[in-house]
Amino acid sequence: MTGYAPSEAARRSGFSLDTLRYYEKIGLLSGVGRTSAGRRVFTDEDLGWLTLFRCLRDTGMPIAEMCRYAELARAGDHTTGERRALLVRHAERVEDQMRLLQRQYDHLREKIRFYDTLG
């Protein structure tokens, strides 16, 4: 098992040290190990969770839903259906946002083309 100092976990995950502490405090990230001196040590499994949290956060999932997903995952395999449903709902919201962004992007490009014609 590989262990990572908090600074290395932050670098690898793209989260700040404050965010890592916050995620641990609210229970989103649980079971982070400690050295005999009390310093946190992150595992590859922790980094896997952080990769998922990065994806969910970057796509706009609220913290409460991220916590619910993590809670369900820790509860065991009998929650796979509920976890899947949560991710499906989120993916649908992401798709809606992508369609909106595409329409807005197209509008911006149209405006830029207008200004290009003005010379």
Between vectors from CA 62 to CA 89 and to CA 6, what angle results, nearest 5°?
120
| pLDDT for residue 1 is more than 70 | no
Q: Are 62 and 18 in contact (CB under 8 A)?
A: no
Angle between helix axes 17-25 and 44-58 (nearest 10 degrees) is 100
1 inside domain? no
Q: Is residue 78 part of a domain?
A: yes
For the stretch 70-107, pLDDT in tens is: 999 999 999 999 999 999 999 999 999 999 999 999 99
pLDDT of residue 119 exceeding 80, the answer is no
> pLDDT digit string (tens) for 25-70?
999 999 999 999 999 999 999 999 999 999 999 999 999 999 999 9
Domain that holds residue 77: 6-117
The predicted structure's pLDDT at residue 82: 98
Residue 105 lies in a domain: yes
> What CATH number has the domain bearing residue 93?
1.10.1660.10
* CB proximity list for 1: less than 8 A, separation 6 or greater: 43, 44
- CA separation for the pair 14, 98 (Å, rounded): 23
Q: How many domains does the chain have?
A: 1
Percent share of the chain, pLDDT over 70? 99
pLDDT at 50: 97
